Structure 1
């Protein structure tokens, strides 16, 4: 189980360390975060199979972060909370948590819930396709359609679009996009600009006034999820460019 990463997002340092120690004793890989800002960074870098999430964090609402995690479609969530009223538990589960445990709790119960969630993850079938507003991505064939029209993207363009879309409308810096969408280490952030320009030429009505992939000043780029923008999209004709098999990316 050493290759299975569990992320702990807990503001209490004593509890965070205690949970981490017990999970490590059970041979899980563990990454820890004390706040949402760090949790997002760690999540992208480690891609945990399970996130143990406190509902109350020093820099934001754990329920909001749980909803963001749900948009990533990658991890299960076990929510920890001192809120034990029925309405609060329901709110936590509706935010996307796969399980909810109230504080204080016993360590054996905690480990049993973790094991139960991981058993569930082993039976989950990965999605064959994802939809983000007007954009549909086929994860098996690595193809993109916009309003049912096929858009011919290179493997790298596909990965960049996928990462932007999975951010759920949140802006991503150029360095973050390089880490998440490129298979090899690249230290030239302007590479992102070149590929964004290429994507815009294929899916935007007017690449000079993009409605789907938007520039965020002093940050980077975001994928605009407003469905009203879909009417402005242009269906590009399939490119004749062939991408050699050896250039296919090993990950999305």
Structure 2
């Protein structure tokens, strides 16, 4: 594994710069964000290998971002927090954090925690893409190819497709799709219908008779790649040993 891409989400500008400087000095590629909103935008542009998140951000709770990144299953998470009770630590870990560091902390301890998480990254095998016949889902660049042509998906459409594909043919309810594919809490499950319709227009041979993303009555939707080829297809997963 080459350079580690790290996203630092910290509301305190002085601490954010200090963390970023030390990480860059260690040879890592670092992006910095001061807010929850900006962090989500950066996440859509490039999946970080490691996200370092402050639990108290100016525009929201860092645990929300922590939970969302955990659902994507693409990044390890180090949660920083001034809350150091056992209950707060348990809450952070349950939200998806891989490690929890209480403020104030020393820079040596911070870097030691980061390096421990990076060792975990290097010991795992990270998938690069999912392949279903003529359909390829690139998990690194967050792009989709169908029959060799790139399909222009919005970040949210990609997240929805990825979550459906991960379910491996199991039907997911609208509420489950909202929970796993949306970065913000949304009260209207019909939002899923709108995005599914858009995905079908871009991916289906005949959007009026969808075969790739199927409606399951009284449940929700399921990803069904074998139907687009007219035969059963097992997904191929290309991976790199980190």
* TM-score, L = length of structure 1: 0.61
1:126 aligned partner: 126
Deviation at 1:193, TM superposition (A): 7.7
2:202 aligned partner: 195
Q: Is the 8 A contact 2:212 2:227 kept in 1?
A: no
Aligned residue pairs total 188
Matches within 5 A, 1:24-173: 24-126=24-126, 139=130, 154=147, 163-166=159-162, 168-170=180-182
Residue from 209, 223, 228 that aligns with 2:219: 228
Q: Is the 8 A contact 1:6 1:31 kept in 2?
A: yes
Bigger CA drift: 116-125 or 99-108?
116-125
Label 1:142 to 1:237 Cα distance change in 2 as closer, same or farther (>3 A).
closer
Q: In 2, distance between residues paired with 1:203 and 1:99? A: 38
Deviation at 1:77, TM superposition (A): 0.3
Q: In 1, distance between residues paired with 2:103 and 2:12? A: 12
Label 1:73 to 1:158 Cα distance change in 2 as closer, same or farther (>3 A).
farther
Cα deviation 1:101-158 (Å, max 9, x = unaligned): 0000000000011000000011113369xxxxxxxxx9355688xxxxxxxx746689
Deviation at 1:3, TM superposition (A): 3.0
Deviation at 1:169, TM superposition (A): 3.1
Gap runs ≥5 in structure 1: 129-137, 145-152, 173-190, 206-210, 213-225, 241-249
Deviation at 1:28, TM superposition (A): 0.9
Label 1:83 to 1:126 Cα distance change in 2 as closer, same or farther (>3 A).
same
Label 1:198 to 1:68 Cα distance change in 2 as closer, same or farther (>3 A).
farther
Deviation at 1:38, TM superposition (A): 0.8
Q: In 1, distance between residues paired with 2:66 and 2:204? A: 32
Cα deviation 1:47-93 (Å, max 9, x = unaligned): 21100000111111111111100111111000000000000000001
Label 1:196 to 1:159 Cα distance change in 2 as closer, same or farther (>3 A).
same
Q: In 1, distance between residues paired with 2:69 and 2:206? A: 26
Label 1:227 to 1:92 Cα distance change in 2 as closer, same or farther (>3 A).
farther
Cα deviation 1:147-175 (Å, max 9, x = unaligned): xxxxxx74668996754334733289xxx
Secondary structure of 2:96's aligned partner: coil
Label 1:23 to 1:158 Cα distance change in 2 as closer, same or farther (>3 A).
same
Q: In 2, distance between residues paired with 1:78 and 1:125? A: 20
Q: In 1, distance between residues paired with 2:62 and 2:11? A: 10
* RMSD (Å) for aligned C-alpha atoms: 3.9
Gap runs ≥5 in structure 2: 136-145, 164-179, 185-197, 231-237
Higher relative contact order (CA 8 A, sep 6+): 2
